[in-house]
Amino acid sequence: MKENIVTAADTVAMFCRLQMHARRDLPIRSSEMGVLIYIQKQEEEVTPLMISNFFQIAKPSVTTMINELIKKNYLLKVPSATDRRSYTVSITEKGQELVVSAHEEYFKAIAILEEKMGAKDFKSFIELIQKANTILSEERRE
C-alpha cells in the first residue's frame, strides 16, 4: 500500500510539473491569469472574498494579486457606494485582450489530453479530478 501511495504521489507531482512548466509567454503569473479568467467569466460583480473562496486561498494573497493586476492595468478597483472598506474588481480592456490572446495557449494541454485520451476517458479523468478536489477541499475545512 505504501508503495502505491508513493507512486501515486510521484505521478500527480509529474502531472503538475508538466502542466506548470507548459510554455506560456504571459506577462503575469499563472495564478494572476487564473484570477483574470475567473473575473472575466463572472456575470456578477466580483469581490476579493469571492476570489478567495473560489481559489481557496487567503484574502491577503488575493489582495496582493489584485494590487499587482491593478498596477499592470489589467483590473480596476470599484469602491462600494455604501462601505468604504469594500470594493469589487472588474477586468479592463487590456485584461480582456490578455485573456483572449492567452486562452488558446493556456488551455492547450487540456485540449491535447481530450484529443489523445478520447471523449470517454477524458470525461472520466475530469470527473475523477473533480471528485478528488471535492474530497481534498472537505478535508481542508475539517
pTM of the entire structure?
A: 0.70
Q: Does 102 lie in the same domain as 47?
A: yes
Q: Considering its fold, how many domains does the chain have in total?
A: 2
Q: Does 79 lie in the same domain as 137?
A: no
For residues 50-87, one letter each, b for 16 or more C-beta atoms within 10 angstroms of the residue's C-beta and e for the rest, the string is: bbbeeeeeeeeebeebbebbeeeebbeeeeeeeeeeee
Q: Does 136 lie in the same domain as 101?
A: no
How confident is the chain (142 residues) per 10-residue block, as mean pLDDT?
83 79 73 93 95 93 96 95 89 94 78 94 94 87 73
Q: Does 78 lie in the same domain as 14?
A: yes
Q: Does 133 lie in the same domain as 74?
A: no
Q: Does 135 lie in the same domain as 94?
A: no
pLDDT one-digit tens code per residue, 58-98: 999 999 999 999 999 999 999 988 888 899 999 999 999 99
